[in-house]
Chain A
Amino acid sequence: MWDFISQPWPWYVSGPLIGLVVPMLLLAGGKQFGVSENLRHICAAALPTRVSFFQYDWRAGIWNLTLVAGVLVGGFIAATFLSSGLPIALSAATVADLQALGVNEFEGLAPDGLFSMEGLLSLRGFLIIVGGGFLVGFGSRYAGGCTSGHAISGLSDLQLPSLIAVIGFFAGGLLATFFILPLIL
């Protein structure tokens, strides 16, 4: 049992476990699963602004802010107590493609050269972390949801707007992977 838990979990176990978050939240209090909503709550709570989009009672979202605080704690628990320390079993084709782009470290969850303080202070790291983060925040609110709100929660309820958004997510992801990332890296 412990061996199974400390190994990376296969997709056919982890996928259904993530899907269960949708009914957990509905049954707990009729809540919709959507992580990016919290970025708006943080703006409304922490950034002094007269922008009307942030003039609402963000306290109604305290449950969701509590949930993401839990996600952070969950990440800590997984890394500290449940990790095998094994490198990710990445497809050989992906390793070859990334090496061709100059990525040569495959330890951990992300390339250390980019996702470190040193990386952040380099132009390419800054574009990837700050540029990418900005677009994640801008795009998720523009689209009205992110992977959890549209891909998982929205598609679970067969909502057409969510399908359009998810097609957009992948169109943008392909654009960035094949045209933008090669320019940055």
Chain B
Amino acid sequence: MNTPKKSRRLGLYLLIGVYFGIVLSKSEAVSWFRMQEMFRFQAIHMYGMIGGAIVVGLIAVQIIKRTRAKDLDGADIHIPPKDLGSGTRYWLGGTLFGIGWALIGACPGPMFALIGNGIYVMIAGLFAAVIGTWTYGALRPYLPH
């Protein structure tokens, strides 16, 4: 993992982030209104988008796995499987996340994009999300996973 000789390619990650931020904004996936429309099942927009992203991601991951593609440093690409455990963390954590997602109308990626879009009050939302993450870290030993 920590090979100091590897280039960090931060410029490339910055560009990928800019690309993601533009697509999120132009698709209106950063809109509280669009999230309400999705959770009320009143338009295909968000479902088509997430579904389209998954289909393209799925095909790309399959191609990468089957061709044993290497990354830019020539290293093998390994996607570690997630540990299911009892599954509690996924449905319970997922449900808590979903409640927050519908209230604030943004998941973490769109939070950053919204600040860029001039919705500066999202800085408070992001700060609250950091505190939420910290609270999880502090309570982690006591929570069922």
Contact = CB atoms under 8 A, between A and B. Distances in A.
Contacts of B132: 39, 133-139, 141
B98 A168 contact: yes
B58 A51 contact: no
Contacts of B116: 71-79
B24 to A, nearest CB: 7
Query: Contact residue range for chain B?
Result: 35 or more
B117 A76 contact: yes
Given A71-B20, A76-B117, A147-B109, A43 B98 contact: no
Interface string B11-43: 011111111111111111111111111111011
A89 to B, nearest CB: 9
A102 interface: no
B124 A129 contact: yes
Given A75-B113, A91-B43, A23 B61 contact: yes
Contact of B101 (A18, A167, A173): A173
A97 B39 CA distance: 12
B108 A148 contact: yes
Given A11-B48, A16-B55, 11 more contacts: A25-B16, A26-B71, A42-B133, A53-B138, A71-B112, A75-B117, A78-B26, A82-B26, A141-B133, A142-B96, A180-B102
Interface of B: 1-2, 6, 8-10, 12-40, 42-58, 60-61, 63-64, 69, 71-73, 75-84, 87, 89-109, 111-119, 121-122, 124-138, 140, 143
Interface of A: 5, 8-9, 11-32, 35-36, 38-40, 42-43, 46-47, 49, 51, 53-54, 60, 62-64, 66-79, 82, 88, 90-91, 93-94, 97-98, 106, 109-111, 114-117, 119-120, 127-144, 146-148, 150-162, 164-177, 180-181, 184
25 contacts: A11-B47, A15-B55, A17-B19, A30-B76, A74-B21, A75-B21, A79-B116, A97-B40, A109-B28, A109-B30, A110-B105, A120-B124, A128-B104, A132-B125, A133-B129, A133-B132, A139-B100, A140-B129, A142-B89, A143-B89, A156-B60, A156-B61, A162-B82, A166-B94, A172-B96
Q: Which 5 interchain pairs have the tightest Cβ spacing?
A: A74-B21, A70-B17, A168-B94, A172-B98, A15-B52
